[in-house]
């Protein structure tokens, strides 16, 4: 069974059970938030998060545009090209917006919605920045502070760009446990603790050392995938694993490899550095 869902493309991967804070300032996503606010509070306000394979989260901004020029982010495909299906990974995660709060003004500092989200890299849509403030002002008004939670994986079948924001035809993917998921989860948790200790010595942030971790195999698999410092293609591979056991087995190999690597390096490499656009500044 397929359904239509608004799309929110990001340069990172959202996993089920993980919290996603967003600072909305582009016109297309402000329109999406207005439509979500029209849904009754006791009904899930769902949208689909997909990772960007090729493109940018935000529309390019330029100075000196004529007054008649559309505001940045007015085009739902801005940053992705005319065929978004080729720019996005086709397995994403449904997000349920529990909080949508309109900001007091385009230049106002956001309230403290969430300081840390395991595995969520900071992007233009998640933190206040000069670019965000300029884009909000150019878009003609304040944006929104949003707090959402990943709920379920989906496969993206098609994208409709005819409206103010992208809509996707999706089918939700079941989470199969697979063989030996329980034993693998225990091994992954031990390996993750060792990985945390190595990260602490490298002064990188991850989950608090004393934080109690869950024992449900699927929850473990998503939490570890989100909390590990990995590039987007690797996180995407974990998201779209056919079952929990396969994801955990892959994570066990990754944990052992990364822990050994961190122990031999004085600092961690910037995994996404070669994937980001360069700037002459």
How far CA 5 is from CA of 45, 219, 257, in Å, comes to 10, 24, 37
DSSP bridge pairs for 49: 8, 93
What is the pTM (predicted TM-score) of this model?
Answer: 0.79
- Band of the pLDDT at 72, cuts 50, 70, 90? low
- Evaluate if residue 210 carries a pLDDT over 90: no
3-state secondary structure of 261: helix
- Band of the pLDDT at 262, cuts 50, 70, 90? confident
Q: What is the pLDDT of residues 116-162, one digit of tens each?
A: 333 344 344 544 444 444 444 444 567 999 999 999 999 999 999 99
Question: Of the candidates 246, 245, 211, 243, which has an alpha carbon nearest to the alpha carbon of residue 227?
Answer: 211
Q: How far apart are CA 256 and CA 240, in angstroms?
A: 21
In 148-216, alpha helices (H): 181-201
């Amino acid at each position: 069974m397929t359904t239509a869902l608004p799309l929110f493309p990001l340069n990172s991967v959202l996993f089920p059970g993980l919290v996603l804070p967003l600072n909305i300032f582009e016109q297309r996503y402000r329109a999406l938030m207005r439509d979500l606010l029209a849904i009754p509070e006791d009904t899930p306000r769902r949208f689909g998060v997909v990772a960007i394979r090729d493109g940018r989260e935000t529309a390019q901004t330029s100075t000196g545009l004529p007054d008649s020029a559309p505001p940045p982010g007015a085009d739902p495909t801005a940053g992705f090209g005319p065929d978004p299906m080729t720019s996005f990974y086709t397995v994403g995660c449904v997000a349920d917006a529990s909080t949508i709060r309109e900001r007091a003004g385009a230049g106002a500092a956001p309230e403290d919605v969430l300081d840390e989200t395991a595995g969520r890299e900071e992007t233009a849509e998640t933190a206040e920045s000069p670019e965000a403030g300029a884009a909000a002002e150019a878009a003609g008004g304040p944006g929104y502070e949003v707090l959402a939670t990943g709920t379920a994986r989906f496969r993206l079948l098609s994208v409709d760009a005819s409206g103010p924001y992208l809509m996707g035809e999706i089918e939700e993917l079941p989470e199969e446990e697979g063989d030996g998921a329980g034993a693998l989860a225990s091994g992954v948790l031990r390996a993750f603790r060792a990985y945390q200790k190595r990260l602490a010595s490298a002064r990188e942030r991850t989950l608090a050392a004393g934080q109690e971790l869950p024992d449900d195999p699927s929850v473990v698999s998503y939490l570890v995938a989100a909390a590990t410092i990995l590039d987007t293609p690797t996180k995407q591979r974990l998201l779209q694993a056919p079952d929990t056991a396969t994801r955990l087995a892959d994570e066990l190999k990754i944990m052992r490899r990364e822990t050994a690597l961190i122990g031999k390096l004085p600092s961690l490499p910037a995994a996404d550095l070669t994937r980001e656009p360069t700037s002459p500044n």
